[in-house]
Amino acid sequence: MSPTAENPTGPAAGAATAALTAVAPAAAVVPGVEERVIARVISDDPLYRKIPVALRYAPAEPLAVRIVFPAGLSPEGTDNEWVLPRSLLESGLQAPTGTGDVRVWPCGRVQAVVELHSPEGVAVIQFDIAALRRFLRRAAASAPAAATRPA
């Protein structure tokens, strides 16, 4: 992107800035949460492979979390993002849960497994429970009040 496109100038830019300024006070922007963790791909190979993973939460989607795998892992060369219910991830730290494309279960006292099913196959990823809990606490703290109250 050119510097002009990133930092527009002229009358149109002033109008766009004014429009943004007028809207900003009415809509309070709540920052999202991102936690970068190292996960392990579980396979038949005796040595597991460590991968960087981004855990994301956006207050605009208060019931969902995203697990984003790096582009190098996908055949398309793009980030691979899975969206799942926040409650599924929370419950899966305590007991096995999930019956569809995503399943989560504790693996001992310090690990949790996330199993992802797609038409291309199954991926089994192991996370440190402490990292997932830290992320979920931060997500809950930034969640809108309606998303944290029981229904």
Per-residue model confidence (pLDDT) at position 75: 67
Full pLDDT tens readout for the chain, 151 residues: 333 333 333 333 343 333 333 333 334 445 789 999 999 998 777 777 899 999 999 999 999 999 999 887 776 777 889 999 999 999 999 999 998 899 999 999 999 999 999 888 888 999 999 999 999 999 999 887 655 544 4
Which helix or strand (DSSP H or E) is residue 121 part of? Answer: strand 121-128
DSSP symbols for 30-66:
PP-EEEEEEEEEE-SSSS-EEEEEEEEE-TTSTTEEE
Q: What is the dihedral of CA 105, 123, 34, 22, to 10 degrees?
A: -110
Residue with tokens 């849960």: 97
CA–CA gap between residue 97 and residue 85 (Å, rounded): 11
